[in-house]
Structure 1
Amino acid sequence: MRAQDGPGTTPVPPRVCAATSPTKDAEPRHECVLAKL
């Protein structure tokens, strides 16, 4: 929802975050964190 993210940046739904991180302590979770930032 931030225009600061730049053009072509779309908010990542929780579903993608969950799919990217099988476990809350998984390393791939960094993508989820970046998406929320």
Structure 2
Amino acid sequence: MRKYMIRFLTKDTFMSNFFYLKNTNKAIIFALFLLYLF
């Protein structure tokens, strides 16, 4: 799971994905997912 997250973080689309999810409820789930990993 951590390896997948590292690969995801290294992608250039990370920021675009973050801002895309920012205006939706998925942003909360995404944040909780990050907290779960770290």
TM tier relative to shorter chain: 0.3 to 0.5
**Higher RCO (CA 8 Å, separation ≥ 6 residues):** 2
Pair member with larger Rg: 1
TM-score by length of 1: 0.39
TM-score by length of 2: 0.38
Q: Looking at secondary structure, tell me which structure has more helix per residue.
A: 2
